[in-house]
Structures are given as C-alpha cells and as structure tokens.
C-alpha cells in the first residue's frame, strides 16, 4: 500500500474518502447543557474563523492550503460525531502551531495535517469499511481479522463484557454473520473517530509541561495529587482504565499496594503523554453535553465513544510502557499493545507511526540584517506498507538525502521501541507478523512528480 497526500486529496475529490456515520448519533445531546457550554465558549474562547486567519498569517499559503480543507472536513464530521470538538478545536490548532515554533521541545512537527492524514491511513488499512479492500495478512483481510479477535481471542473478552454491562441483552454478544457485520462496521467507524481526534490532548500536555517548568517557582496550591485521585475515582469504571489492570476491570484480589502504583501511573500519564489527556478530554466533553439519565438504550453508540477514547489514549502510552527502565525490558509490560488484545489501538498506533509524509517542521535562519526568517518545509513525500513473508516493511521516501540520513536514527529508535520482537510496544505476532522493519529511502525527482501536490494547491 502507498500513502501520500495527493492520493488523500483525490479520494476526497471523488467522494471516495469519507467518515462513516452508521451509528450516529453516539450520544443524545442535552440541549440546555450544550447551550450553557456554547455560551461559556463564546465568552472566553477563540473563534474558529479567527484561528484559521491567525494560522494563515503565521504559516503561509502552501501549508495552510493543505491544513484548511483537511481540518474543515474534521470539523464537519465532528458536528455529528463529537459536537463539543468545536469548543476545543481552536486551542488544538493554536497549540499545534506553538509546538512547532517554540523551544520547550527540541523537535516538534505538525499535527493539524497529521490527524486527518492518520485517519486517511486507517481508512485505507481497513478498506473504507469493505473487508476485501482492506490490507491483507496471510490470505486474510485485516478488517475481518479484527472482528475475529473480538469473538475468538481470550484476551479481548473485555470488549464484549463491557458491552454486556451497558446492555445485557445486546444482539452483538451473539456470534453470527449479522452480528459480525455490525461489529465490522462498528470497529471501522470507531477507528476513524479515534484517528481523527487522536492528538487532541496536546494543549493539556503543554499546560503540564509548563507546570513542570514552573514547579520550582510555583506559588499556587499543589492540586495535582487531588486531580489524580479525582480521575482515579471518577473514571474507574470507564474503558480507558482497563489497560492499567491488564485490560481487565479491577478485581477483588487487587494487591493492597496497587492503588499507589495506579496513582503513579495516572500521574505520569497526565504529565508525560498527550494520549491520556486527549482521552479524558474526549470523554469529559461528551459527558458535559450528554443527556443523562436517558431512557434510550444507546449501548452500541456508547461503546463507540469509550472504545475511541481507548485508542486515543493507547496510541501514546509507549513512554509509560517503557518507563525509566535502564535495561531492554519495559517497566510496565502489562500496557503492551497486543493485536489479539487491542486490535483497534494497534491500528491507530501503527497509522500514527506511518504518517510522516508532508509533516512540516520550521527551519529558522537569519538574513543579512540579522532578522529571523522561518520556513515551513517537509522532506518525507510518502510512506509504503508491504508484508513480505512474516515481515511488515514500512518505507519512508524522502525528497532530499540530508533529511533521509537524519531520519535514520529516529526510525531505528522507533523500530526498537515500537516493534522489537520481544519487548516492542506493539506485538503483531498473533496474526503471523514476527518483525516490523522501518527504512528511509531517497525518492527520485521523476517519482516525486507522481506524488506532487503543487497543481492542487
């Protein structure tokens, strides 16, 4: 499979790329709650139109013309799938620009274009919801394999058990052709929701990074421990807490010191990841406008929300999984993503790793008058995915050799931390993939023309 921006744009132009809406609405909106939140946003928030104007001013024509239609599509989808996103979108886009140009991190890249392109990768991997068009693994289609895990894998029983708690009489608990077809559509739709919103947690991570930087001179009351305790209590029954218990709900034989360990994990997840923050924000904003109590049984739709939040969270838990371990073995191995345990998070994380094409960074320089000059530029043109025997090969194609060489060390690090056969964060061995290889290639100018987007801009 080949992934590149022009393909995404062409699919959109042909109405072949779309966000599925089979299970909408996911929540029944309480209009009073929504209006209250909207009024608060109108009083304090940045208007989306002003955000786009500010972004256009700061990034220039070429980058903005890629971001604007992609984010407009995400916003249109959010109106029916995640209505409260519009109250967050301005801060997400603003933080994305800030993270590219500020120096809190040595290396930052785009996320405004990255999220839509990640959803495009998920779209192609899962065949747009059509099994026969999804990625093929050992004569089986990826979308069908994912549904097989839900019904056949002992490690994935938590999904049906969670649905059973939402609706003990759900027809989806029975394994038959109709049920599998519904699960297939549900899996695909949930994956697309998770992909398009997977990086919404960056503003909260930025705040936490500032808190850490200002910790030595902080004159405010320390509220962080109480926040951790609050999250631990309020979200204890939600799906996002299952990975902290080895993808199970808490049990009666939980060790007496586990709450202390759990508090530490949540604290680290809040301060060191954007995935956990994003998942909490996703659930919180949906809860803020959700009609509750509600006599309608929306168990399947509620599962979609909870499951999407799980994917948002787990795509960025690699650092917590490895911890501060000085050895080659992870500190928190129970957080490992195994395909037969959490196929959705595996796919979201894989797509996130693959989406490197068209992601700009900012290059700073000075002119003769010593005035600052900055330029948004990208080097990776496209990414390919191919399964050869038991090895999944991901190739990144670069337009210049200098950037290709610079990227080699980053990809080697990603290959080890994400895909090491014994201890990598993602384990695909249950579907016959024993090795994942990342490589950086130089793309010739003739090949570049095939993927060029200049005529579309």
Using H for helix, E for strand and C for coil, what is the string for the chain? CEECHHHHHHHHHCCCCCCCCCCCCCCCECHHHHHHHHHHHHHHCCCHHHHHHHHHHHHCHHHHHHHHHHHHHHHHHHHHHCHHHHHCHHHHHHHHHHHHHCCCCCCCCCCCCHHHHHHHHHHHHCHHHCHHHCCEECCEEHHHHHHHHHHHCHHHHHHHHHHHHHCCCCHHHCCCHHHHHHHHHHHHHHHHHHHHCCCCCHHHHHHHHHHHHCHHHCCCCCCHHHHHHHHHHHCCCCHHHHHHHCCCCCCCCCCCCHHHHHHHHHHHHHHHCCHHHHHHHHHHHHHHHECCCCCCCCHHHHHHHHHHHHHHHHCCCHHHHHCCCCCCCCCCHHHCEECCCCHHHHHHHHHHHHCCCCCCEEEEEECCCCCEEEEEECCEEEEEEEEECCEEEEEEEECCHHHHHHHHHHHHHHHHHHHCCCCCCEECHHHCCCEEEEEEEECCHHHHHHCCCHHHC
User: Is the predicted pLDDT of residue 456 greater than 60, yes or no?
Assistant: no
- Please check whether residue 220 lies inside any domain of the structure: no
Q: What pLDDT band is residue 295 in, cutting at 50, 70 and 90?
A: confident
- Please check whether residue 222 lies inside any domain of the structure: no
Q: What pLDDT band is residue 212 in, cutting at 50, 70 and 90?
A: low
Instruction: Count the Cβ atoms, other than its own, within 10 Å of residue 175.
Output: 13
Residue identified by tokens 């024993």 is 434
Top pLDDT among 124 and 214 is at: 124
Region 295-312: mean pLDDT is 93
- Please check whether residue 327 lies inside any domain of the structure: yes
- Give the phi and the psi of residue 366 in degrees, each rounded to 5: -130, 145
CA distance 404 to 412: 12
* 160 CB-near residues (< 8 Å, 6+ apart): 150, 172, 173
For the stretch 185-208, pLDDT in tens is: 999 999 999 999 999 998 887 777
- Please check whether residue 142 lies inside any domain of the structure: yes
- Please check whether residue 25 lies inside any domain of the structure: yes
Distances in Å between the Cα of 63 and the Cα atoms of 68, 238, 322 are 9, 38, 35
For the stretch 374-393, pLDDT in tens is: 777 788 999 999 999 999 99
Longest dimension (CA), the chain: 73
CA distance 367 to 365: 7
Residue identified by tokens 């599509």 is 73
Calculate the CA 388 to chain-centre distance: 27
Region 51-67: mean pLDDT is 88
User: Is the predicted pLDDT of residue 454 greater than 50, yes or no?
Assistant: no
Give the model's pLDDT for residue 386.
98
Number of domains in the chain: 1
Structure tokens at 236: 């204890």
User: Is the predicted pLDDT of residue 69 greater than 90, yes or no?
Assistant: yes
For the stretch 238-263, pLDDT in tens is: 999 999 999 987 677 888 888 899 99
Calculate the CA 178 to chain-centre distance: 29
Residue (of 260, 272, 206) closest to 229 by Cα position: 260
Helix/strand/coil (H/E/C) assignment for every residue in 229-268: HHHHHHCCCCHHHHHHHCCCCCCCCCCCCHHHHHHHHHHH
User: Is the predicted pLDDT of residue 211 greater than 70, yes or no?
Assistant: no
Q: What pLDDT band is residue 123 in, cutting at 50, 70 and 90?
A: very high
Distances in Å between the Cα of 43 and the Cα atoms of 102, 227, 270, 337 are 28, 26, 28, 42
Structure tokens at 307: 């499951």
Give the model's pLDDT for residue 297.
79
For the stretch 324-383, pLDDT in tens is: 876 789 999 999 999 999 999 999 999 999 999 998 877 777 888 888 777 777 889 999
- Give the phi and the psi of residue 231 in degrees, each rounded to 5: -60, -45
| % pLDDT > 90, the chain | 68
- Please check whether residue 146 lies inside any domain of the structure: yes
CA distance 329 to 455: 48
When the pLDDT of each residue in the chain is averaged and rounded to a whole number, the result is 89
User: Is the predicted pLDDT of residue 21 greater than 90, yes or no?
Assistant: yes
- Please check whether residue 386 lies inside any domain of the structure: no
Residue identified by tokens 């080097």 is 379
Top pLDDT among 448 and 8 is at: 8
What is the residue range of 139's domain? 2-215+228-240+255-341
Residue (of 283, 293, 352) closest to 82 by Cα position: 283
- Please check whether residue 156 lies inside any domain of the structure: yes
């Amino acid at each position: 499979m080949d992934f590149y921006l022009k393909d995404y744009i062409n699919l959109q132009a042909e109405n072949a790329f779309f966000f599925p809406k089979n299970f909408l609405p996911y929540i029944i909106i309480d209009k009073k709650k929504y209006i209250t939140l909207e009024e608060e946003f109108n009083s304090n928030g940045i208007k989306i139109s002003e955000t786009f104007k500010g972004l256009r001013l700061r990034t220039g024509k070429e980058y903005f013309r890629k971001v604007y239609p992609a984010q407009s599509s995400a916003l249109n989808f959010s109106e029916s799938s995640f209505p409260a996103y519009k109250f967050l979108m301005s801060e997400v886009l603003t933080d994305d620009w800030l993270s590219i140009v500020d120096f809190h991190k040595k290396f930052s890249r785009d996320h405004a274009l990255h999220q839509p392109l990640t959803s495009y990768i998920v779209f192609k991997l899962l065949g747009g919801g059509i099994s026969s068009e999804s990625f093929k693994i050992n004569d089986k289609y990826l979308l069908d394999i994912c549904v097989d895990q839900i019904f056949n894998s002992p490690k994935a029983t938590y999904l049906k058990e969670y649905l059973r708690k939402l609706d003990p009489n759900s027809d989806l608990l029975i394994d038959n052709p109709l049920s599998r077809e519904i699960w297939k559509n549900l899996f695909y739709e949930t994956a697309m929701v998770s992909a398009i919103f997977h990086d919404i947690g960056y503003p909260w991570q930025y705040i936490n990074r500032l808190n850490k930087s200002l910790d030595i001179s902080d004159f405010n009351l320390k509220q962080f421990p109480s926040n951790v305790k609050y999250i631990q209590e309020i979200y204890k029954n939600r799906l996002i807490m299952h990975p902290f218990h080895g993808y199970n709900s808490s049990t009666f034989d939980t060790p007496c010191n586990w709450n202390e360990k759990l508090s530490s994990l949540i604290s680290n997840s809040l301060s060191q990841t954007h995935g956990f923050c994003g998942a909490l924000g996703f659930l919180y904003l949906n809860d803020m406008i959700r009609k509750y109590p509600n006599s309608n049984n929306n168990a399947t739709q509620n599962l979609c929300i909870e499951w999407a939040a799980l994917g948002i969270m787990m795509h960025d838990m690699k650092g917590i999984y490895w911890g501060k371990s000085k050895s080659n073995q992870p500190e928190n191995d129970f957080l490992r993503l195994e395909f037969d345990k959490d196929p959705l998070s595996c796919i979201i994380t894989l797509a996130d790793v693959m989406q490197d094409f068209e992601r700009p960074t900012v290059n700073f320089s000075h002119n003769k008058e010593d005035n600052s000059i900055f330029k948004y530029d990208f080097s990776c043109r496209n990414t390919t995915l191919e399964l050869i025997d038991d090895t999944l090969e991901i190739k990144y194609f670069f337009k210049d050799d200098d950037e290709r060489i610079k990227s080699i060390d980053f990809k080697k690090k990603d290959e080890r931390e994400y895909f090491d056969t014994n201890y990598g964060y993602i384990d695909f061995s249950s579907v016959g993939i024993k090795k994942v290889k990342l490589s950086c290639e130089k793309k010739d100018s003739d090949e570049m023309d095939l993927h060029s987007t200049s005529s579309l801009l």
